[in-house]
Amino acid sequence: MRTTLRSALESSGLRAALAARTPVIGIHVRHGDACISSETARTVRACDPLATYMAAISTYAKALGAHTVFLATDSEVVLRDARTLFPKFTFLYAPNMSRTGLTSAAPTVILDEVLKKRARTGVDIASTQRDALLGAVDALLLARCDVLVGKFTSGLFRAAYALAAARKGGLLPPFVSLDAPWCADYGIPRGYNDNFPRRPSSHPAHFHADLGYEQISPEEPGRGVGIRHNENNAFLC
């Protein structure tokens, strides 16, 4: 991993940008299997174009005088849009990551199922190691950026943000999450985001006929966790 990380730092241009003390905004855009219709229905997660992320960085870019963006993405379309739609920015990215959407067909099966099949059959198991390595390297590259922009529904983006804070000795770097609030665990309520849509869940304890799943409230004395009856959305990791 150390060797792959060093190579990616050089080939992406990120090492040179950081050495020059150029402010770098790191953006994580996950498309690929996350954009399969069954997956977007399950997670209520939008596959936003790069333009949405670029709009979100505008305040930070102006404040920092930042014109350099590191892109961690599995999408060839995102890289194309970066080259053609935003000429005022310099985009950096690791060249050897697995990406789809233009020269390679987008996935039709979510990665979780692919990994389970590899583990079950033993076929193409080496690709699982490669996928895990490249994902970890992208997260480590993101963690070196000055500002992080992505979605906290993504485990990779949350990991990158935690690593970025660790690199700064516990100081929290500036960030933009386009959907959920920060969440450090699984299956627990963490904050509210009125703009985040209601997400379905298979957990019957969280079901309410009108509100759907994952509309839960903080603990109340003597009542435990209850249903939020207003229109605010609780994010359940």
Whose CA is closest to 76, among 101, 47, 96, 107? 101
User: Residue 226's domain spans which residues?
Assistant: 189-236
Q: 169-181: string of b/e by CB count within 10 Å (b at 16+)? A: eeeeebbbbbbbb
184, part of any domain: no
Sequence-ordered list of residues with C-beta below 8 angstroms from that of 112, at least 6 positions apart, any chain: none
Give the model's pLDDT for residue 209. 43
User: Are 14 and 92 spatial neighbours (Cβ–Cβ below 8 Å)?
Assistant: yes
**Could you tell me if 137 and 207 lie in one domain?**
no
Give the model's pLDDT for residue 143. 97
State which residues of the chain have pLDDT below 70. Answer: 44, 184-237
**Could you tell me if 61 and 171 lie in one domain?**
yes
Give the model's pLDDT for residue 191. 55
**Could you tell me if 36 and 101 lie in one domain?**
yes
Q: How many domains does the chain have?
A: 2
**Could you tell me if 94 and 158 lie in one domain?**
yes
145, part of any domain: yes
182, part of any domain: no
45, part of any domain: yes
The 10s digit of each residue's pLDDT in 97-120 is 888 788 888 888 888 888 899 999
**Could you tell me if 218 and 173 lie in one domain?**
no
pTM, whole model, 2 decimals?
0.79
Token reading at 134? 């490249």
Question: Where does residue 234 rank: exposed (0-12), middle (13-18), buried (19+ CB within 10 A)?
Answer: buried
**Could you tell me if 75 and 161 lie in one domain?**
yes
Cα 177 to Cα 175: distance, rounded to the nearest angstrom: 7
**Could you tell me if 97 and 147 lie in one domain?**
yes
**Could you tell me if 93 and 34 lie in one domain?**
yes
**Could you tell me if 168 and 119 lie in one domain?**
yes
* CB atoms near residue 185 (< 10 Å): 7
175 bridge partner residues:
148
**Could you tell me if 165 and 195 lie in one domain?**
no
Give the model's pLDDT for residue 48. 92
Q: Which of 177, 198, 214 is the last residue of a domain?
A: 177
144, part of any domain: yes
**Could you tell me if 149 and 219 lie in one domain?**
no
Which CATH number is 36's domain given? 3.40.50.11350
Give the model's pLDDT for residue 237. 55
Cα 233 to Cα 112: distance, rounded to the nearest angstrom: 27
221, part of any domain: yes
Give the model's pLDDT for residue 21. 93
**Could you tell me if 156 and 201 lie in one domain?**
no
